[in-house]
A and B are shown apart, each in its own frame.
Chain A
Amino acid sequence: MGQGFRRMATIVRKEWLHIIRDPRTLALVIVMPVLMLILLGYAVANDVEDLPLAVADLSRTDASRTLLEKFSASGFYLVTHVAQSEDEILAMLDAGTVKAGIYIPEDFGRNISTGGVGTIQFYIDGSNPTVAQTAQLAAETVSQATSQQILIQRLERSGAGLTISLPIDTHILYLYNPDMRRMNFMIPGLVAVILQVQTLLLTAFAIVREREQGTFEQLIVTPVRSWELILGKILPFVLVAFLNVAMTVGAGAFLFGVKVAGSIALLAGLSLVFLLSSLGLGVLISTISRTQMQAMYMASFIMIPSFILAGLLFPRENMPWLAYYSGYLLPVTYFLEVVRGIILKGADFFVLWNWIWPMAVFSIVVFFASVMMFHKRL
């Protein structure tokens, strides 16, 4: 055991030398997660607000002005252009100067004041579905609210001294992410991405590089055992992964105000358990690839489906059943629930137990199976 530990420590020392001898890669490894965080945080913020809106109000009545005020007040739209016809609005949408347009026909105000139906035409640029959906929802909400108001006014005017109120009043309260901020959803996801991608790639490369360089052949004839070799190779990367997670969580708290609601120790401990599965997959990839190029492609082959199916970028609830249940075959799916639980809800170990145990079982099985498959032979 003492001998084995010494050999493992020797491998760790050597891996450190490789890491610090290649400062460019080290810098990229450290900077990448923070860069991803900043990009996701600032560049891809497609929360819908102040969409440029073109307005063609041919009615020019109280009713039409009220409606337009409501649109402006909603915060979703900003009236940037005034048009005189439908064609003009369409031209602006074509040119991309506005993302939406309202055409209010001449008879709109007259129809409403005579108790009829005022029709308006709303245009939405559907090229970005996320923006379009939100825009549509906002447009419908604003129109309905305005209709209700008009309806109430009509009824109040007709009935003597009648006070009308809507029968259902829904209060919605968002728990855990009260401002519906995207970063609250993204940062826990990013922790999972880092642990999965960085560790898997770094582990696979560290081992495959030995094969590619031919140094593996020399290592085989030394007394180092497979276990000592693998542990020695992955320990430095466990440290790197933890550094990365700490930086991401730290940057999330300071730059985006996403504080960890739960226990940091629990987060670290469960990250370590999940890390086993990434390390294991890295070892597995290194066992079946001969070159770093092969390893790279093999890794993408595992990583891309896991991001999509685990619900990292898109919610799993909307997936077709096959995709939904495939997610349960990936340790990262469980880990994502765990991280979101700890960071956003402040959930403790017992609350998360239903996610923790499958993750632990998966990770341990993947890790041990991969290490067993690793052979100290060419």
Chain B
Amino acid sequence: MTFVIEAKKLSKHYPSQRENYLALDSVDLEVAPGQLYGLVGPDGAGKTTLLRILSTVMEPTSGSAQLAGFDVMKQSEDVRALLGYMPQAFSLYPDLSVMENLKFFADINGVPAREQKKRIDELLAFARLTEFTTRRSENLSGGMRKKLALACALIHEPKILLLDEPTTGVDPVSRRELWHLLAKVIQQGVTVLVSTPYMDEAERCSTVSVINQGRMLITGAPIELEKQMPFQIVEVKARPRYTLRAVADQTDGVLSWRAVGDRLRLSVDNPNAVMPRIDDELKKAGAQISILREARILMEDVFIYLVEKQKEQA
């Protein structure tokens, strides 16, 4: 299979960084055509660096990358012609109106004049910004800015779309809206690579890579990743909470646990063996159990497990 985005051993060292510290540490990436590919990792993991290199904005220290077969360093102008890129920070002209921004990016990307009106109208409807065409972009809300930036990135009908944290700093409703928009973009056959610090968003992607401290930790479909984990999850809610915590700490077979809301999520090797033990211990300690059940592994569990493992190895 040929990949639309292909990176080999990409490394990036910033001059301001310590000698042996890398923002990206020989990262490999393969994105198949038509995928919605998620790049998940905490702040400072190297997501932005990777996306900037892929979008020809920045040069890697070593390694190579191709988009649709064009080299990001040697054939950057060819890459740019078929690329839509939305940086993490708001990067449209604040003093220009919604329409002027769209028109500018249409012109600069060489969208023929006779197609512009149709294309702009489509995108305005798509991003639900039709009523705001005369508003200066500095006066748009956070969610509207992101949608406008997405519309500008799509104006020349790119084959590949790179999005750097499109949902950061956006309210939950706008976040959902943005993901719906991305789903529509995918339907038109565009390959999308999106980065996000939110683990729950990763589940919406067809393939996910988890990145931390400049290294790719794991890659696969979210369901596959969840299956690969050497643990399962048990969810418990019981009172008093300190008793629950003490039991979680002491019970054999509990690998680790974390609090989520009013309950604990226990990583266990074998739920069928551990659950009766927990039940037993809690009752012995006089705690009131309201929930004790097996739960699905979430991307968040995967991520925490991988990061802990990386820490132990270091």
Contact A218 B91 (CB under 8 A): yes
CB of B112 to closest CB in A, whole Å: 10
Segment among A3-11, A294-302, A334-342 that sits at the interface with chain B: A3-11
Question: A221 and B83 in contact (CB under 8 A), knowing A10-B108, A377-B57?
Answer: yes
CB nearest neighbor in B for A232: B108
Segment among B92-100, B167-175, B203-211, B234-242 that sits at the interface with chain A: B92-100
Interface string of B88-126 (1 = CB under 8 A from A): 011111111000100011011110000000000000000
Q: Which residues of chain B are near A7, meaning CB under 8 Å?
A: 107-108, 110
CB of B71 to closest CB in A, whole Å: 15
Q: Which residues of chain B are near A223, meaning CB under 8 Å?
A: 77, 80-81, 108-110
Contact B55 A221 (CB under 8 A): yes
Q: Which residues of chain A are near B214, meaning CB under 8 Å?
A: none
Contact of B80 among A22, A215, A217, A222 (CB under 8 A): A222
Q: For the complex, what is the distance from the CA of A25 to the CA of B95, rounded to whole Å?
A: 14
Contact A221 B85 (CB under 8 A): yes
Q: For the complex, what is the distance from the CA of A222 to the CA of B90, rounded to whole Å?
A: 16
Q: For the complex, what is the distance from the CA of A199 to the CA of B104, rounded to whole Å?
A: 25
Contact of B91 among A22, A213, A224 (CB under 8 A): A213
Contact A378 B110 (CB under 8 A): no
Interface string of A212-253 (1 = CB under 8 A from B): 011111111111110000000000000000000000000000
Q: Which residues of chain A are near B93, meaning CB under 8 Å?
A: 14, 17-18, 213, 215
**Main SS of the interface on chain A?**
helix
Q: B9 in the interface, Cβ–Cβ < 8 Å?
A: no
Q: B58 in the interface, Cβ–Cβ < 8 Å?
A: yes
Contact of B100 among A6, A17, A214 (CB under 8 A): A17
Which residues in window 1-33 of A have CB below 8 A to B? 3, 6-7, 10-11, 13-14, 17-18, 21-22
Question: A215 and B92 in contact (CB under 8 A), knowing A223-B77, A223-B108?
Answer: yes
Q: Which residues of chain B are near A214, meaning CB under 8 Å?
A: 87, 89-91
Q: Which residues of chain A are near B84, meaning CB under 8 Å?
A: 221
Contact A10 B107 (CB under 8 A): yes
Contact A378 B80 (CB under 8 A): no
Contact A213 B87 (CB under 8 A): no
CB nearest neighbor in A for B87: A217
CB of A294 to closest CB in B, whole Å: 16
Q: B59 in the interface, Cβ–Cβ < 8 Å?
A: yes
Q: B56 in the interface, Cβ–Cβ < 8 Å?
A: yes
Q: For the complex, what is the distance from the CA of A18 to the CA of B101, rounded to whole Å?
A: 12
Contact B89 A224 (CB under 8 A): no
Q: For the complex, what is the distance from the CA of A11 to the CA of B89, rounded to whole Å?
A: 21
Which residues in window 6-58 of B have CB below 8 A to A? 52, 55-58
Question: A224 and B108 in contact (CB under 8 A), knowing A17-B100, A218-B85, A218-B87?
Answer: yes
Contact B110 A18 (CB under 8 A): no
Q: For the complex, what is the distance from the CA of A21 to the CA of B93, rounded to whole Å?
A: 11
Question: A11 and B95 in contact (CB under 8 A), knowing A214-B90, A220-B57, A221-B83?
Answer: no
**Can you give 27 A-B contacts (C-beta < 8 A)?**
A3-B110, A6-B110, A7-B108, A7-B110, A11-B108, A13-B104, A13-B107, A14-B104, A17-B100, A18-B96, A21-B96, A213-B91, A213-B94, A214-B87, A218-B87, A218-B91, A218-B152, A220-B55, A220-B56, A220-B80, A221-B57, A222-B80, A222-B109, A223-B80, A225-B77, A377-B59, A378-B52
Supply 5 further A-B pairs (C-beta < 8 A) apart from A225-B77, A377-B57.
A17-B100, A218-B105, A218-B152, A222-B109, A223-B77
6 nearest CB pairs, A to B: A10-B107, A218-B91, A214-B89, A214-B91, A21-B95, A221-B85
Q: Which residue numbers of B lie inside 8 Å of A, CB to CB?
A: 52, 55-59, 77, 80-81, 83-85, 87, 89-96, 100, 104-105, 107-110, 152
